[in-house]
Structure 1
């Protein structure tokens, strides 16, 4: 490693505090063990099991959200993924920590000014300041593996400056990200206690698989260029165009405004929630059709609210490549489910590999199990809300036929894993928004085979 890189690694807040981050993560299982022992003690003296479990969950949430809220790297990326599903948690458990979760969606402590200057020189050369006049050292946004600066960019000598965003990767982000995710993977049992209906191991494994792609901003620039072209004339969605990049820096056109979908979740009007929730869903469904790509990081911090009410979409480091669009059977099977034809749904799921060999499943049980995915498209409009999601999540987490016993019969084929994760995350965000919109029409317009099934 070069000396300059070594200096960067010592100074950046992501890697320079590696020991402190590791110690904070390591404190989680010890705290969980202590709380579990305390809970067993309470049970032995006659405390009700439900009350004890609630206390353990609440104390676990207090420590988990506190630690994740102080960290970057893989810990913060995991926290961002976790924050999408907070709407499924009981209100009494998550209410005190909602502000921390919202911050995980959209903010983090920045790099120091000296480190920023060194990174810019490393990526764009010693004359970088000439190409980036009025560069703002204080970042406009900072997240898990990089931060964004507002400035102007001269594409070539003599050209007019263009207002841009410069995304810089934290030095040493790759090693820190992999280390954190390995450690979090070992803590899956703890997070499972907090969210028993969420497959934490699968979520962490998916984040680990995407690390290499997310760290290569050249791949991100290519994906973003394809989205920008596909949505160039869209009246509701804006994708900033990439103008220049290196492996660890990305220059794109600037999106005006200082609000994100996370802010709308907190303070937005119902009109904003409905309008932006519909635009959010349209973007997720239209990407595979128009660009051959699925945006695979649906947390609200990646969706910006422009002053004219349009939805700007950033961060294309995590995408699923679907050159032929989403798998062809999805549209007809969703339509069959919306029409109540679960015999056809069961047969289709068996053909696609969702039903394990030799398993049988009652059509009515399957209907109840799949209702969180299907109910929003049965009628012309649907209203998402936290309470609806909590009821669905609690039902799916029970051991009966409507929950875990049915889940054990199902298998998500590899080609559907990321699609399923994005849809589940999208539903979580819509419930945080409390959006009402014409979701059936969106699916019909964007999902081949749904309207004609």
Structure 2
């Protein structure tokens, strides 16, 4: 057996083992508790052991498992605090941690992608990775320019076999839906996995990522609030960009002052809402590991492998329907939702019930300022995921059109980060500036 098949068998065995034993049974019970179906008391010890088993395996894996874990990690704020506490540390580890690639493998990839004289391109190269992504790892280095000057750079190197690993992991993860529902109540992982599969090819192409990053960098050149590092060099499996020196957003979440957390949240929202109109792209990977707070107050953004191409900007109906809902125009809201495919054109639906379903979700933009909190997100998760709630029953009549799936996921991910930050900001004003069609008042 060669090394590659042996590793594949090991990966499959680790993932396949997750649903077995007490951990799988416990998480199934926990999912019932979170959604209000049962009132079982789950001991802290079992919670801790379940978290350790689930996320230690995900954390050891590269490819799809780590990517999926990162996507889910932003939702830990939705869990009740007594359940969330044992998971928080394990989830956070997924955001910026993975086993490093051996040095020899790093050098082999660099030689293949940049040429046998790759060392001449660097004045210095640190063999110890500075960070890990889902399909690659990042090394700090000093790039040697053609004129003899140098600059600090980040060198992202793709894991060999990353594509096969992504496909294999996502196939295995599709079997673990019940376990992941403990992290996000009511979560159906199938659409998320389908979307991740569709984007594998794009994310594996670092030259395509370089193109996206250049578009972002041009759109935010000299911006006083958002910093996008320049692309220095690219190859299909190696990407060299300017180094971003800053405080990781995870640190701000964990120990930042209220003012620091509020400002980080404001900048995150500004990036999320402004990018489609400014760059024609949406940064589609909003986990904290992809953001830094710079010393000059700007938000540094890294990793542009996952983007949504939106050449015409954010779809106008999103802003228009949100404004209609804030103004209480129930019939117009339903008409807009029908036109976009959120509501069946043939099925009857209670317009006032739809308005009551949407208004709590729109609370962050109903007032001049709003503070996102874990408590607010937990309340919304419970309201929408509890089969006994009117909101849950109504949601069964609503659809999520495929064209809106990525926008929806990224928005939920961004909200999850804002709730981790517990950030207060004038979100309505940010929407009014950047969201086409949004008019909260007549």
Per the normalisation by structure 2, the TM-score is: 0.92
Residue of structure 1 in register with 2:149 after alignment: 160
Secondary structure, aligned partner of 2:116: coil
Q: Is the 8 A contact 1:147 1:168 kept in 2?
A: yes
Change (3 A) 1:368 1:17: farther
User: Which of 127, 130, 133 matches 1:140?
Assistant: 130
1:364 aligns with 2:378: no
Query: Quick one: distance in 1 between partners of 2:438 and 2:414?
Result: 19
Do the aligned partners of residues 372 and 120 (structure 1) sit closer, same or farther apart at CA in structure 2, a change above 3 Å counting? Answer: farther
Query: Structure 2 residue aligned with 1:98, among 74, 79, 88?
Result: 88
Give ranges in structure 1 of 5+ residues lacking alignment: 1-5, 40-47
Q: 1:372 to 1:220 in 2, by over 3 A?
A: farther
The match for 2:396 among 383, 403, 408 is 408
> What residue number does 1:313 align with?
301
1:249 aligns with 2:262: no
Q: Distance in 2 between matches of 1:410 and 1:213?
A: 30
How far 1:136 sits from its partner (Å)? 0.9
State the Cα distance separating 1:362 from its structure 2 match. 2.4
Residues 389-411 of structure 1, C-alpha deviations (whole Å, 9 max, x = no match): 10111111122463321111011
Which residues of 2 match residues 246-395 of structure 1 at below 5 A?
246-257=235-246, 259-395=247-383
Displacement of 1:438: 0.4
Q: Is the 8 A contact 2:136 2:158 kept in 1?
A: yes
Label 1:133 to 1:287 Cα distance change in 2 as closer, same or farther (>3 A).
same
Within the candidate set 113, 116, 138, 1:123 is matched to: 113
**Secondary structure in 2 matching 1:147:** strand
Q: Does 1:216 align with 2:229?
A: no
Measured on the aligned residues, the alpha-carbon RMSD in Å equals: 2.4
User: Is the alpha carbon distance of 1:252 and 1:406 closer, same or farther for their aligned partners in structure 2, counting shifts above 3 Å?
Assistant: same
CA distance in 2, matches of 1:360, 1:233: 51
Contact in 2 for aligned 1:368/1:402 (Cα 8 Å): no
Instruction: Report if aligned partners of 1:107, 1:141 keep a CA contact under 8 Å in 2.
Output: yes
Q: Structure 1 306/395 Cα, relative in aligned 2: closer, same or farther at 3 Å?
A: same
Query: Does 1:76 pair with 2:59?
Result: no
In 1: Cα distance, 2:250 partner to 2:323 partner: 31
Distance 1:204 1:272 in 2: 34
Secondary structure in 2 aligned to 1:108? coil
Task: Kindly indicate whether the alpha-carbon contact (under 8 Å) linking 1:165 and 1:254 is maintained by their aligned counterparts in 2.
Answer: yes
Q: CA separation in 1, counterparts of 2:65 and 2:43?
A: 24
Change beyond 3 A, Cα 1:194–1:231: closer
Separation (CA, whole Å) in 2 of partners of 1:19 and 1:354 = 42
SS class of match (1:69): helix
> What is the DSSP-based 3-state SS (H/G/I as helix, E as strand, rest coil) of the residue aligned with 1:326?
coil
Q: How many angstroms does 1:324 deviate by?
A: 0.4
Which residue of 1 is the match for residue 32 of structure 2? Answer: none
Superposed CA offset, 1:255-307 (max 9, x none): 113x2111211111111100010000100111100011111111111111212
Post-superposition offset of 1:193: 4.8
For the 8 Å contact 1:35–1:59, the answer to whether it is kept is no
